[in-house]
Structure 1
Amino acid sequence: MNYIGENLLPGQAGHFFIILSLVASFVASFSYLKVTRSQLPDERRSWLKIARISFFIEAFSVLVIFATLFHILYHHLFEYKYAWQHSSRSLELKYILSAFWEGQEGSTLLWTFWHCVLGLIVIKRDKEWEAPVMMIVSFAQFFLASMILGIYIFDVKIGSNPFVLLRESGVLDNAPVMHVGFNTANPIRPDYMTMIKDGNDLNPLLQNYWMTIHPPILFLGFASTLFPFAYAMAALWTGKTKEWINKVLPWSLFSVALLGLGIMMGAKWAYESLNFGGYWAWDPVENASLVPWLMMVSGVHTLLIYKHTGFSLRSTFLFFGLSFLFILYSTFLTKSGVLGDASVHAFADIGMNGQLFLFLLVFAWLMPLVAATKDKQRWIIAAITAALSIGTYFLNDVIPGFPLYVILGGIITFIVFMNKQVPAVKKEESASSREFWMFIGSLVLFLSSLIIIFQTSLPVFNKLYKINTAPGENNEFAYNQIQVLVAIIIGILTAVSQYFRYKATPQKIFFKKIALPGLISAVIAAFILLVVKISYNKEGMGFLINIWIALVAGVFAVVANLSYMLTAMKGNIKNSGASIAHFGFGLVLVGILLSSGKKEILSLNTSGIAIPFEKNSKEKTGENLTLVKGVPTRMGDYDVTYVGDSAHPKKALTYFKIYFKSPTDSFTLHPNAFINYKGNEGLMANPSARHYWDHDVFTYVSALPDPEKNKDTAQFVESSKKIGDTIYYSRGFIVLEKLAGKDNLPVAGFDKSDTGYTAALKIQSINGPSYQSDLLTIKGKGQTLFQSQDTVMAQSLVLTLNDVNNGVARIGVKESSNVMEYVTLKAYKFPYINVLWGGVVITVLGTLIAMIRRLRLNRLKRA
């Protein structure tokens, strides 16, 4: 059947290039493998040419797929499920980009796009390591291409196709209007496109400018972790276990910078768009991104240790290997649906699980495969990998958690073979050496990451083993009580490690250099603790003491690294990348502790109005303030007034105008809220904040009136009154002060013969304030043409002017408890939050400066 209005060419072209990218990536991987193994120059050149052409075809295919999917979204081709599900006609261009990577297919495509870009850089700039590195990169691309393939082999679905048509997706199966008059063999009517006026829209929480720029940076960080992994595996495969160090160091620094930046941009989005009252909530997907970054940081430091001393090479291989594997694991957590309601970021399962697990499993066993020293061992491991891959499909239901055991087995096997192939220095490091304390810091970060990933994986364990091991209600404290101890250790090591020399440091020299920074740090920390003060008492005195110690360690890291940069490095920015990065990291620690430890709840309930929250809400009544429209209410140092609200012209979204006034300042915030029309039902809110140099005032809507419960059933009572007469109501009285009429109304839509009447009323509450109300009614040709209503919220009154005749006004008065307009707010004061954001920027800049320096040294070495 021909369907009217469908544009099929983009989808057909897009799916063709998906298949082409799948084939090209496999050919590139196989060809690079042949280049790596071949000993004949002519044969190597032939295979290298094929490999490069194949990867260029792969990169071009991904670019075309990217452009095609964007074309479908931009032109609102709702015959495609992806466009209908993730976009609408009302989306701005920047949010169309957000819609692109809202879905799993789009985010996977973004990931593979960055692999292509970075792979082309390797081909251009690193001829020596191109073949073994690009073999692994192309193999990863093959798996990513399979994740957007969207075909069935027998009953097994391979990937999810972003170009599937809406009528083929099952979305229309429950739309009876589409089926009328058609047989069951072909139930969709030919003109169904005429009934699809708009798409399902982008999740309102993602309609934020940070979601336009955060995912590309984050996925660039994800993609970058493949390259240290690929260099490490290439070094093992070729037996060049020492020569790869200079090549991989800039890549690992780039990965640390970009992945860290992407994670913190996500934190900034959460701060501005989510209503959990901050920038970090130990959400499972936040954690799953943090863990690979921590392991990559550990790998960078052990790599530097090896470069200067020959120690920790095995640890470097392990950290780089696990960093990429945990990227795959975090992708599984995000895209498989296993997290369910445990994460605000989690996707539902759409058929990628098989590819995700296979991707993770194969690359876990790829590590021992390339670490094996002999061809016979490699073939045995390859056979084991294939057998276990097949076994996971059949044994997953028989042995709960079998795929996880297989992955763990691959990592253990890798460690065994890697230890055989990679040499290690037998001599122990000196406790007075820089490498010793750098290794301790790397080990602490590694153990911290393992603890985080274990706690994050509890939903997985629950599903596999049917046990209730989830953290309690205080999920944040379960992480914080451990990670604050990590912050203490890392803060101190970040401060002192650079003052040690490699191999050994005389005690007198060390203490002489560290004494002044230590003294300055002590003075600054004492000032903060005694004057600025951190009095976080939510989790007891023991935890508060740990926060104090962590703050001292953070200040020490800031001062010591600044001092090292100015003295030892003579202020040379180009050579001070490490000190700048450590200085920024110290600021991050201080910013986290100050902003969280001194976070103040402003919205303590002083109004006496207790509004019930949603069933699953974690809000506490005493920490939320209900504002009645037009009534100023005290909130901390501010008088806060709910001025009004406005509705989004095309979405079920309400913007609230909240006016803050203090003796020294005044401003208006515009938080918005809506009942989520995508995903789970419930109140969703986008915060609004006022930024100052030393703090933010941060607020979001925590409750709205229930329109079903607040239906107004009260009736108007009419009274006929002259000027000066009084109308009594239950809480006071109303006086008609003025009455006037006017012909020839200068209002569009009314004739000159129409007459308008105005009445000025004074409402006096008993033992309370008075209010003013102005009413209007317009009459013409014996009928009422217009009639205003005025609501006095504080008195629960609704007033109307029904008629005026011979100086007598007929005034309608209604008393109702359901006429009150209100909004319930949660408001915080975040002190020194800019220390955190500034620290992030400085850390990234310092890491990139270090990367540029390493690239420059590599060029000089080649020259």
Structure 2
Amino acid sequence: MNYIGEDLLPGQVGHFFVIVSLVASLVASFAYFKATKVTIPEDRKSWLKLARGAFFLEAAAVFIIFAALLHILYHHLFEYKYAWQHSSRSLELKYILSAFWEGQEGSTLLWTIWHCILGLIVIRKDKEWEAPVMMIVSFAQFFLATMILGVYIFDVKIGSNPFILLRNSGVLDNAPVMHVGFDIANPIRPDYMTLIKDGNDLNPLLQNYWMTIHPPVLFLGFASTLFPFAYAMAGLWTGKTKEWIHKALPWALFSVAIFGLGIMMGAKWAYESLNFGGYWAWDPVENASLVPWLILVAGVHTLLVFKHTGFSLRATFIFFGLEFLFVLYSTFLTKSGVLGEASVHAFADIGMNGQLFLFLLVFVWLMPFVAATTNRQRAIIALTTAALSVSTYFLAEIIPGFPLYVILSGIITFIVLMNKQVPAVKKEESASSREFWMFIGALVLFLSALIIIFQTSLPVFNKLYKLNTAPGENNEFAYNQIQVLVAIIIGILTAIAQYFRYKSTPGNIFLKKIAVPTFISAVIATFILLVVKINYDKEGLGFLINIWIALVAGVYAVVANILYMFSSLKGNVKNSGGSIAHFGFGLVLVGILLSSGKKEVLSHNTSGISIDFGKESKEISGENLTLVKGVPMTMGKYKVTYEGDSAHPKKALTYFKIRFRSDSDSFTLHPNAFINYKGNEGLMANPSARHYWDHDVFTYVSALPDPSKNKDTAQFAISTKKVGDTIYYSRGFITLEKLVGKDNLPLQNFDRSDTGYTASLKVQSINGPSYQSDLLLIKGKGQVLFQSQDTVMAQSLVLQLNDVKNSVAQIGVKESSAVMEYVTLKAYKFPYINLLWGGVIITVIGTLISMARRLRLNRVR
């Protein structure tokens, strides 16, 4: 059947190059494998030539796929499911890219694009390690390509095709109007495209400029974690267990910087787009990104220990192996749908669980494969991997936790084989050495990551073991009570470790160096605790004391690193990357504690209007202020007025204009909100904030009238009154101040014989404010020709003049909450939050400075 209006070429081109990228990545993997194994130079040269050609072809194919999918989104080709599902004609141009990576297929493609770019850098810059490293990169690319393949093999779906047509996706099956004869048993009608006027639109929470830039940076970080892993595995595979470290260190530092930046850009997006009143909620997907980053940071520090002392090489292999495995595990958590009800970030399950797990399982067992020392061991591991992959498919439902046992057994096997191949220094580190405390810090980070991932994985454990375990009602505190202790330890170690020397440090020298930063830190921390104060008593005195200690540790890290940079490093910025990064980390820690510990609710309910948020809501009525349109209300030091609102021209989205005034300041915020948009029940809201150097005023809409439920059913009560008489209503009284009749009306379409009446009313509320209302009535030939109504929204009143006889007026008064325009706000003050954002930037800059220094040193080698 020929379908009218379809443009099939972009999808055909895109899917063809998906297949090309799949085949090319497999060829590149095999060719790089052979180039690594052969010993004859001419053979190695031939295999390298083939491998590079295949990888170049793969990279070109990936960019063509990207262009094809972007073309489909940009031109609103809704015959493709991906465009229909993730975009709309009303979507601003800047959010087309956000729509690109909203879906699983687009985000996977973004990940593979970064692999291609970084892989090309390895090919260009590192001929020595190209073959083993790029074999692992190409192998990862092969698995990513399968995720966007979208084909069936014996009823088993391999990947999800981003170029599938809407009519082939099943979306239209339950839409009879789309079928021939309006019968769902019949095929799709040829002109179905004429009935599709628009797409399903991008999730409104993602329509934020941070979601245009945050995912690319985060996925660059995700992609970059493969390269420290690949160098570590290449070192084991080739038997060069020490030589790889100088090449891997710049990659690891780059990954720490970019991955960390991507995570915190997500926190900034959450701060500006989500209405939980913060930037980090220990959301499972947030945690799944944080965990591999923590392990990678631990690996960087043990790698530095090895470079200077020869210790901790085995720990480095373990950390660099696990950081990438946890990237894959976090991908599984995010894309499998297992966190669908536990996270606002998670994708829905689209049938990729088996592939995601296979990706993880194969790379788990790739580690012992490369750590093996004989071909016989490698053959056994390869057969074991294949057998476990198949058996997992059949035994996962029979033996609870079987997939987990398979993964753990692979990690244990790797550790055993790696220990046999990697030499270790027999001598123990001295407790007065820098490497000892760096290793302790790395170990604390690693244990912190394990605790976080265990808490995060509870939905997985529940599914595997049929448990009913949950973190509890106060999920954030479950994390915070442990991680605040981690912050204390890491803050102190960040301050003191650099004042130790490698190998050993005489006690008097250490005490002499650390005395000044310790004294200054104590003075500053005491000032903050006594003057700035943190009185966060929500979780009890014990937790508050831990916050105080963590704040002292954060200040210690800031001061100690500043002084170290100028005293020991003489202010040489090029050599101070580590101190700058640690200084930034200290600022991050202080910013988190101050902004969260001193977060202040501004929107205490002073309006007398109480909103019932329901039992399942986390909102507290007393912490939300309802603003009636045009009526100033007190909010802390501010007078706050709901001045108006405006609707999005093409979406069910309302922007509210909220004016804040104080004796010294005036500004306007524009939070927005919507109800039942894209099928979501209840209220969705995007916050708005005013930024100052030392604090933010942060507000979001927590409740507003629902027009579908807020219908006006009240009736007018008629009162007959003379001038000076009073009418009482529930919140005050109304006085008829003036009543005037006019025979001559200079109005169009009214006859000279018509009579008009005007009534002036004063509405006086009980709590003080008064309002003026003027009503008009026009009568002619015994009939009412025109009758005005006036709405006093602040008092929920509707007034009208019904009749006038002998200087007596019949006045209609209706009280109805449906006529009141209001919005309910939650507002916070976040003090010193810029310490957090500034600290993130400084940490990234310091890490990149360290990376640049390592690259310079590598060129000198």
Both proteins in one fold, TM over 0.5: yes
- 1:814 maps to 814
1:783 Cα shift? 10
* Worse-matched range after superposition: 797-806 or 479-488: 797-806
On the 8 A contact 1:110/1:219 being kept in 2, the answer is: yes
Q: State the Cα deviation string for residues 615-652 of structure 1 (Å, max 9, x = none).
A: 53222223222223333322222222223322222111
1:733 aligns with 2:728: no
On the 8 A contact 1:726/1:736 being kept in 2, the answer is: no
1:26 aligns with 2:26: yes
On the 8 A contact 1:737/1:762 being kept in 2, the answer is: no
- 1:320 maps to 320
Task: Give the direction of change, closer, same or farther, for the CA distance of 1:713–1:520 in structure 2 (3 Å limit).
Answer: same
TM alignment of 1:215-364, pairs within 5 A: 215-364=215-364
Give 3-state SS (helix, strand or coil) of 1:317's partner.
helix
Instruction: Tell me how far apart the structure 1 counterparts of residues 346 and 785 of structure 2 sit (CA, whole Å).
Output: 54
TM alignment of 1:640-789, pairs within 5 A: 640-678=640-678, 680-717=680-717, 729=729, 731-737=732-738, 760-765=760-765, 768-775=768-775, 789=789
1:407 aligns with 2:407: yes
Instruction: Tell me how far apart the structure 2 counterparts of residues 853 and 783 of structure 1 sit (CA, whole Å).
Output: 91
- The residue identity in structure 2 corresponding to 1:156 is V
Instruction: Tell me how far apart the structure 2 counterparts of residues 780 and 364 of structure 1 sit (CA, whole Å).
Output: 90
Q: State the Cα deviation string for residues 84-108 of structure 1 (Å, max 9, x = none).
A: 0000001111111111000000000
* Worse-matched range after superposition: 172-181 or 735-744: 735-744
On the 8 A contact 2:736/2:759 being kept in 1, the answer is: no
- 1:46 maps to 46
Instruction: Tell me how far apart the structure 2 counterparts of residues 503 and 130 of structure 1 sit (CA, whole Å).
Output: 34
- 1:447 maps to 447
Give 3-state SS (helix, strand or coil) of 1:363's partner.
helix
Instruction: Tell me how far apart the structure 2 counterparts of residues 15 and 757 of structure 1 sit (CA, whole Å).
Output: 75
On the 8 A contact 2:176/2:184 being kept in 1, the answer is: no
1:159 Cα shift? 0.4
Task: Give the direction of change, closer, same or farther, for the CA distance of 1:767–1:832 in structure 2 (3 Å limit).
Answer: closer
Give 3-state SS (helix, strand or coil) of 1:171's partner.
coil
Instruction: Tell me how far apart the structure 1 counterparts of residues 287 and 539 of structure 2 sit (CA, whole Å).
Output: 22
TM alignment of 1:47-66, pairs within 5 A: 47-66=47-66
Q: State the Cα deviation string for residues 290-341 of structure 1 (Å, max 9, x = none).
A: 0000000001000000000000001111111100100000000000000121
1:672 Cα shift? 1.3
On the 8 A contact 2:225/2:255 being kept in 1, the answer is: yes
Give 3-state SS (helix, strand or coil) of 2:643's partner.
strand
Q: State the Cα deviation string for residues 648-694 of structure 1 (Å, max 9, x = none).
A: 22111122222222222222222111124336422111111111111
- 2:163 maps to 163
1:697 Cα shift? 1.0
Give 3-state SS (helix, strand or coil) of 1:173's partner.
coil
Instruction: Tell me how far apart the structure 1 counterparts of residues 329 and 833 of structure 2 sit (CA, whole Å).
Output: 31
- 2:130 maps to 130
1:782 Cα shift? 12
Task: Give the direction of change, closer, same or farther, for the CA distance of 1:679–1:508 in structure 2 (3 Å limit).
Answer: farther
Give 3-state SS (helix, strand or coil) of 2:341's partner.
helix
On the 8 A contact 1:182/1:188 being kept in 2, the answer is: no
Instruction: Tell me how far apart the structure 1 counterparts of residues 203 and 776 of structure 2 sit (CA, whole Å).
Output: 42
- The residue identity in structure 2 corresponding to 1:682 is G
Task: Give the direction of change, closer, same or farther, for the CA distance of 1:22–1:609 in structure 2 (3 Å limit).
Answer: same
1:225 Cα shift? 0.1
Give 3-state SS (helix, strand or coil) of 2:798's partner.
strand
- 1:551 maps to 551
1:811 Cα shift? 5.3
Q: State the Cα deviation string for residues 23-66 of structure 1 (Å, max 9, x = none).
A: 00000000000100011111111111110010011100110110
TM alignment of 1:790-829, pairs within 5 A: 790-800=790-800, 812-829=812-829
Give 3-state SS (helix, strand or coil) of 2:172's partner.
helix
* CA RMSD in angstroms, aligned pairs only: 2.4
1:215 Cα shift? 0.2
On the 8 A contact 1:604/1:623 being kept in 2, the answer is: yes
- 2:527 maps to 527
Q: State the Cα deviation string for residues 175-233 of structure 1 (Å, max 9, x = none).
A: 12122516666431111111100000000110100000000000000000000000011
1:35 aligns with 2:35: yes
1:504 aligns with 2:504: yes
* Worse-matched range after superposition: 794-803 or 649-658: 794-803
On the 8 A contact 2:235/2:244 being kept in 1, the answer is: yes
TM alignment of 1:166-185, pairs within 5 A: 166-179=166-179, 181=181
1:779 Cα shift? 10
- The residue identity in structure 2 corresponding to 1:272 is E
- TM norm structure 2: 0.95
Task: Give the direction of change, closer, same or farther, for the CA distance of 1:253–1:765 in structure 2 (3 Å limit).
Answer: closer
* Worse-matched range after superposition: 656-665 or 160-169: 656-665
1:439 Cα shift? 0.3
On the 8 A contact 1:605/1:621 being kept in 2, the answer is: yes
On the 8 A contact 1:295/1:446 being kept in 2, the answer is: yes
Instruction: Tell me how far apart the structure 1 counterparts of residues 514 and 790 of structure 2 sit (CA, whole Å).
Output: 71
Instruction: Tell me how far apart the structure 2 counterparts of residues 64 and 23 of structure 1 sit (CA, whole Å).
Output: 15
TM alignment of 1:598-609, pairs within 5 A: 598-609=598-609
Task: Give the direction of change, closer, same or farther, for the CA distance of 1:24–1:803 in structure 2 (3 Å limit).
Answer: farther
Give 3-state SS (helix, strand or coil) of 2:102's partner.
coil
1:860 aligns with 2:850: no
* Worse-matched range after superposition: 149-158 or 606-615: 606-615
1:638 aligns with 2:638: yes
Give 3-state SS (helix, strand or coil) of 2:276's partner.
coil
Instruction: Tell me how far apart the structure 2 counterparts of residues 134 and 775 of structure 1 sit (CA, whole Å).
Output: 81
On the 8 A contact 1:735/1:763 being kept in 2, the answer is: no
Number of matched residues? Answer: 857
1:776 Cα shift? 6.5
Instruction: Tell me how far apart the structure 2 counterparts of residues 503 and 169 of structure 1 sit (CA, whole Å).
Output: 64
- The residue identity in structure 2 corresponding to 1:224 is S
1:351 Cα shift? 1.5
1:612 Cα shift? 1.2
- TM norm structure 1: 0.95
